Amino acid sequence: EIVREADVYFTPSPLKGKKILVTAGPTKEALDPIRFLSNHSSGKMGYAIAEAARRAGAIVTLVTGASLESPSGIKTVHVRSARDMYDEVLKHYEEADAVIKAAAVADYRPETISSSKIKKTDGQLTVTMVRNPDILLELGKMKKNQLLVGFAAETDHLEENALKKLEKKHLDLLVANHASDGFGNDTNKITLYFSSGKKQAFERMPKKRVAEKICDALAGLFEMSGNE
Amino acid sequence: EIVREADVYFTPSPLKGKKILVTAGPTKEALDPIRFLSNHSSGKMGYAIAEAARRAGAIVTLVTGASLESPSGIKTVHVRSARDMYDEVLKHYEEADAVIKAAAVADYRPETISSSKIKKTDGQLTVTMVRNPDILLELGKMKKNQLLVGFAAETDHLEENALKKLEKKHLDLLVANHASDGFGNDTNKITLYFSSGKKQAFERMPKKRVAEKICDALAGLFEMSGNE
C-alpha cells in the first residue's frame, strides 16, 4: 500500500480531481436462474483504465460485470445485466467529468427470464432475444460537459465501424481493437479515433500501458475543452 | 507443498490407486467469436472433489470448463464447449474406475456459430438452440465396470428429478442440491441418492467437506462392488 501511494504521489496528475466513471467486464443476461448469455470480456482493460485514471489523479468509480478482485482505492460497484449497468451508470452520470465505457455490454437479452430452470426437452429451443438499452448512445444524447470514451471490438471492418460509432454516439474518443487482440488477453493493440478527426495507432502493449495511453488522450481532451 | 503431501500421507486412502475422472465447471456455447451461452457453475465443487479424491489416494484427471487455477498434482484438461468436454471425457472413460460428473454441461448450444461477430440490428434476434450430447447418458450406456456419479442442481421438484436422473442415466450415485444452495457458493447442502435406494441427507457444509462425503460414498460403492 505504501508503494502504491508513492506511485500516485510521484506520478504527474493530468486527471487530478476529475470524476471519472469507468465501466468494465461483460454483462450476463439471464435466461433462467442458471443459464445466461455473456461474452468473452475479462474486464482487465476496464480495470487497468480505472487504475491508470486513479494514478493520474482522478476520482474513479468503477461499474463492473467482471468477477475480478476490486482494485484498491477505487469505488467499485458490481452489476450483472446490461439493465443493471445502465441504472448504475445513470446514477453517477450527472456528476461525472468523463465516462470511459470499457464494458462489453450485451446488445441482446432473452425476451423473458424464466423464474425456474428451463427443463430440457428432446427438441430444439428457440430463444427470442430483444435489444438491451444502448448505454453509450443514451449517454451521448444526455451529454452536457462530460467527455465520452467508447470502445469498439470488431472482427471485421474495424475502422469503418469505429468511425460510425464515434459519430452516432457523440463520443469524444473511440478506442478500437480487433476482437482477437483484446478479449481475455493481458495485452491489446489499439487505435484511437478522436471526434476531431485525429487518429492515433499504437503497437501491441500491456493493458496497463494501453490504459495510460487512453488516460493521456483523455487528459489532452480535457485540456482542449477548457474543462480543467 | 510439504504440508499438502503430509496431508495425503496421513489420511487413510480409501480410493488408493483408483483412476477417477472428474468433470467441473460450466461449458461455454459460442454464438459468435464474442458471445456465448453459459451458466453460473463456478467449478468449485468439482475442483474440491478432484482434490478430495487425490487426498483419498486416487489418480485423478480433471476435465474442466472453469477458469480456476489448476489444482496441484492433478492432471487438468481445459475445455470450452459441451462437445469439447464430451470428446475429452471419452478419451479417458475406458480406463477410468469411476467418473464424477460435477460439470454443469450446457444442455443446448446455438445451432449455428457465426464466424464473425453478429452485428446488432434494431429488431429482435431469434436464436435456435439444439441439444448437446448428454455426456452422462452416453457414459451410462457404454458403462462396463465404471462407477458413475452424477449431480442434479434443480430449482423445483428436486427429489423427483433426482430419482429420475439416477435411473435414466444408469448412475450408481446421484448428488442432489437445490440450485440456489450450490452455484457460486463455497458451501453446499446435498442429499445423496444411491442406485440401491439408499438416501443420505447432509447439513450445509463447506464444499471441501461435501467433496469428502462424496468420496467416502464412492469408496463404499467400490467396496460393495468388489472392484477394489
Q: Examine the residue annotation and report whether B132 is marked as an active-site residue of this protein.
A: no
- CA–CA min distance B128, chain A (Å): 5
Residue A132 has a pLDDT of 96
Residue A211 has pLDDT above 80, yes or no: yes
Q: What is the mean pLDDT of residues B39-52?
A: 94
Which three cell numbers mark A117?
Answer: 430452470
**Which domains does chain B carry?**
2-114+126-225 (3.40.50.10300)
User: Please, which residues bridge with residue A32 across strands?
Assistant: none
Asked if the C-beta of A10 comes within 8 angstroms of chain B's C-beta atoms, the answer is no
Task: Calculate mean pLDDT across residues B106-131.
Answer: 92
**Secondary structure of chain B in the HEC alphabet?**
CHHHHHHHHHCCCCCCCCEEEEEECECCEECCCCEEEEECCCCHHHHHHHHHHHHCCCEEEEEECCCCCCCCCCEEEECCCHHHHHHHHHHHHCCCCEEEECCECCCEEECCCCCCCCCCCCCCEEEEEEECCCHHHHHHHHCCCCEEEEEEEECCCHHHHHHHHHHHCCCCEEEEEEHHHHCCCCEECCEEEECCCCEEECCCEEHHHHHHHHHHHHHHHHHHHCCC
**In chain B, residues 74-103 whose CB comes closer than 8 Å to chain A:** none
Residue A147 has pLDDT above 70, yes or no: yes
Confidence of residue A7 (pLDDT cuts 50, 70, 90): low
Which one is catalytic: B39, B161, B188, B227?
B39
Contact B129 A130 (CB under 8 A): no
pLDDT tier, B7 (very low <50, low <70, confident <90, very high otherwise) = low
Q: Which residues of A touch B104 (CB under 8 A)?
A: 34
B157: left (phi > 0), else alpha (psi -120 to 50), else beta? left
Residues of chain B found within 8 Å of residue A104, distances taken between Cβ atoms? 34
CA distance B165 to B171: 8
- Residue B168's φ and ψ, nearest 5 degrees, are -60, -35
| Percent of chain B with pLDDT strictly greater than 70 | 93
CB contact under 8 A, A34 and B155: yes
B-chain CB neighbours of A33 within 8 Å are 155, 179-180
Q: Does A35 contact B106 at a Cβ distance shorter than 8 Å? A: yes
pLDDT of residue A154: 82
A37–B37 CB contact, under 8 Å: yes
pLDDT, average across residues A130-158 = 92
Cell numbers representing residue A143 in the block: 451529454
Q: Please indicate if any CB of chain B lies within 8 Å of the CB of A107.
A: yes
How many degrees, rounded to 5, is the angle at CA A64 between CA A53 and CA B28? Answer: 130
Tell me if chain A has a CB within 8 Å of the CB of B117.
yes
The C-alpha R_g of chain A, in whole angstroms, comes to: 18
β-sheet bridge partners, residue A126: B128
Residue among B31, B44, B108 with most chain A CBs within 10 A, to mutate: B108
pLDDT in tens, A61-112: 999 999 899 999 899 999 999 999 999 999 999 999 999 999 999 999 999 9
DSSP A226: T
- Per-residue pLDDT band for A3 (boundaries 50, 70, 90) equals low
User: pLDDT tens digits, residue range B73-113?
Assistant: 899 999 999 999 999 999 999 999 999 999 999 999 999 99
pLDDT band at B120 (very low <50, low <70, confident <90, very high): confident
The better pLDDT of the pair A42, B59 is held by B59
Tally A–B CB contacts below 8 A. 94
Which residues of chain B make contact with A37, given a CB cutoff of 8 A? 31, 35-38
The pLDDT of residue B12 is above 90: no
Q: Does A69 touch chain B (CB under 8 A)?
A: no
Whether the pLDDT of residue A117 is over 80: the answer is yes
Residue A31 has pLDDT above 80, yes or no: yes
- Look up the ipTM and state it: 0.84
Of B122, B130, B150, B127, nearest to B49 by C-alpha is B150
Task: Report, as an integer, the average pLDDT of A33-60.
Answer: 95
- Nearest partner of B36 among A190, A78, A184, A114, judged by Cα: A184
> Which pLDDT belongs to residue B8?
52
Out of A21-30, B5-14, B154-163, give the one with best mean pLDDT: A21-30
Q: Which of B36, B108, B123 sits opposite A125 (nearest CB)?
A: B108
- Tens digits of residue pLDDT in B134-156: 999 999 999 999 999 999 988 88
Cell of B218: 464412492
Residue A145 distance to chain B (closest CA, Å): 29
pLDDT in tens, A162-197: 999 999 999 999 999 987 776 667 899 999 999 999
| Residue scoring higher pLDDT (B121 or B189) | B189
How far apart CA A110 and CA B82 sit, in angstroms, is 21
